[in-house]
Amino acid sequence: MRTLQRERRQYDVIACRAGRTVLVECKRWSGHRPRLSALKRAIEQHKERCAFYQTLTGREAVAVVVTLIEEEIKTYEGVPVVPVLKLNSFIAEMENGTYG
């Protein structure tokens, strides 16, 4: 059995501010828009990485997926899907408590 310290996960961005931690997964597919199932699978994997982070650090973390273009879903399993051009407004909404 492996210990948590030996397991690894990759995070694109870890942002901490005012006691809140946000773990960001950035997604960009080349060519045609990805199938919805690929985006959902990426979100499920990111949720697992966030759970690992929380177990390892003991700190609660918010999972967010940032995409290059606006996708057909805005959220999946509680994880926001935010197009990069709307990231600033999303962060502002998180900070002032109007998101979620």
Residue 41 clears pLDDT 70, i.e. is over it: yes
Kindly tell me the number of DSSP H helices and DSSP E strands found in the chain.
2, 5
Q: Percent helix, strand and coil across the chain, each rounded to 5?
A: 40, 25, 35
Sort 15 into a burial class: Cβ within 10 Å, 0-12 / 13-18 / 19+: middle
Q: Which residues of 65-77 are buried (b: 16+ CB within 10 A; e: fewer)?
A: bbbeeebeeeebe
Q: pTM of the predicted model, to two decimals?
A: 0.85
What tens digit of pLDDT does each residue of 17-38 get? 888 899 999 998 766 665 788 8
Domain ranges of the chain: 11-96
Which numeric CATH code is attached to 11-96? 3.40.1350
Three-state DSSP at 64 gives strand
Looking at every residue in the chain, the average pLDDT score rounds to 86
Q: Tell me, what DSSP letter sits at residue 30?
A: S
Q: How far apart are CA 55 and CA 33, in angstroms?
A: 34
